[in-house]
Amino acid sequence: TAALVEVARLTDQAIAVAQKARAATDAADASKLVGELDSLTTQIAAGLQEAQNHMTQMLKGEGLESAPR
């Protein structure tokens, strides 16, 4: 779904930011990057929740919501 494509994009971005934070030599720069990473991970969690909700609706539509996974 579109939500998972966005999650993949955000994850790539989060990895890049985390690598920059790890390489930062200045605490102020690292702190700024950690704040950005926090925002990205929040967006990733929201995107995953959206994808899970979509999957649940699809399973309900197919009558499979109680099927073992």
Q: In the prediction, which pLDDT does 10 show?
A: 98
User: What is the reported pTM?
Assistant: 0.84
Q: Which of 4, 34, 41, 8 is nearest to 19 (CA)?
A: 34
The whole-angstrom separation of Cα 58 and Cα 41 is: 26
Q: In the prediction, which pLDDT does 62 show?
A: 84
For residue 6, count other CB atoms closer than 10 A to its CB. 16
Q: What is the pLDDT along the chain (69 residues), one digit of tens a residue?
A: 799 999 999 999 999 999 999 999 999 999 999 999 999 999 999 999 999 999 999 999 988 877 776
The whole-angstrom separation of Cα 15 and Cα 67 is: 35
